[in-house]
């Protein structure tokens, strides 16, 4: 399949999915809330905060906290990677490419579409949570997927934007874990500093 054909096929999927909006107000409202800049970021933040203070033993708690720091590092790396992709690829948003077919349920973002920044952040956090606690991590992955689907439904991302964002988020955590080898003395010292401030 050529690039133009792939783009056309992807647009057809998006338009079909977005066309489901406007039929059930309650469902549209749910998707708007889920796609917002508030709900899911709050869920991810509270999830990381909860894991920071969890752990049955002092050793386990310390390891959890180090992983949370790695997760925060992954989140920062994900944002940097998305920014680099944005200035390189500069893909228009679907509501710009297809203004007549897209029913926009969200404010029109001005940054490029690929990869999906919110999804990258969500998957970076979800991966960190999964490494710490498998069951809780699965829940965070569900939230990250739902976040992406809601943005797709709202007409602000293409399917490959969502997939690309997920890949960036997971890869960012892997890279942050790799960096931990070289920054381990700093990570441990930072954790001790926070403990000294009674925040851990």
CA–CA gap between residue 125 and residue 54 (Å, rounded) = 16
Q: What is the pLDDT of residue 8?
A: 79
Task: List, for residues 166-179, the tens digit of each pLDDT value.
Answer: 999 999 999 999 98
Task: Tell me the C-alpha to C-alpha distance, in Å, between residue 185 and each of 30, 179, 182, 194.
Answer: 45, 12, 8, 14
% of the chain residues with pLDDT over 90 = 66
In percent, the amount of the chain with pLDDT more than 70 equals: 90
Q: 3 phi and psi, to 5 degrees?
A: -60, -45
* Position 103 pLDDT exceeds 80: yes
Query: Is 1.10.10.10 the CATH classification of the domain at 3-196?
Result: no
Boundaries of every domain in the chain: 3-196
Position 82 pLDDT exceeds 70: yes
Q: Which has the minimum average pLDDT: 49-53, 153-157, 195-199?
A: 195-199
pLDDT given for residue 3 in this prediction? 40
Q: Read off the pLDDT of residues 122-148 as tens digits, 9 standing for 90 and up.
A: 999 999 999 999 999 999 999 999 999
Q: Return mean pLDDT, the chain.
A: 89
Which whole-number Å values give the CA distances from 193 to 60, 68, 189, 197, in the listed order?
18, 15, 6, 7
pLDDT, residue 2, reads: 39
Nearest to 75 by CA among 134, 145, 129: 129
């Amino acid at each position: 399949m050529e690039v133009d054909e792939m783009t056309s096929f992807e647009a057809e999927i998006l338009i079909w999915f977005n066309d489901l909006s406007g039929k059930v107000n309650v469902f549209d409202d749910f998707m708007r809330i889920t796609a917002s800049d508030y709900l899911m970021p709050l869920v991810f933040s509270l999830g990381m905060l909860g894991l920071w203070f969890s752990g049955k033993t002092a050793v386990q708690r310390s390891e959890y906290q180090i992983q949370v720091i790695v997760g925060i590092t992954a989140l920062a790396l994900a944002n940097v990677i998305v920014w680099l992709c944005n200035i390189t690829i500069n893909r228009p948003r679907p509501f710009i490419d297809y203004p007549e077919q897209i029913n926009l349920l969200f404010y029109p973002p001005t940054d490029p579409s690929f990869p999906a920044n919110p999804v990258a952040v969500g998957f970076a956090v979800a991966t960190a949570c999964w490494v710490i606690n498998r069951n809780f991590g699965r829940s965070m992955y569900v939230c990250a997927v739902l976040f992406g689907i809601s943005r797709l439904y709202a007409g602000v991302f293409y399917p490959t934007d969502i997939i690309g964002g997920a890949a960036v988020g997971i890869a960012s955590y892997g890279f942050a874990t790799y960096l931990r080898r070289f920054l381990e003395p700093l990570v441990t010292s930072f954790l001790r500093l926070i403990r000294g401030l009674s925040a851990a």
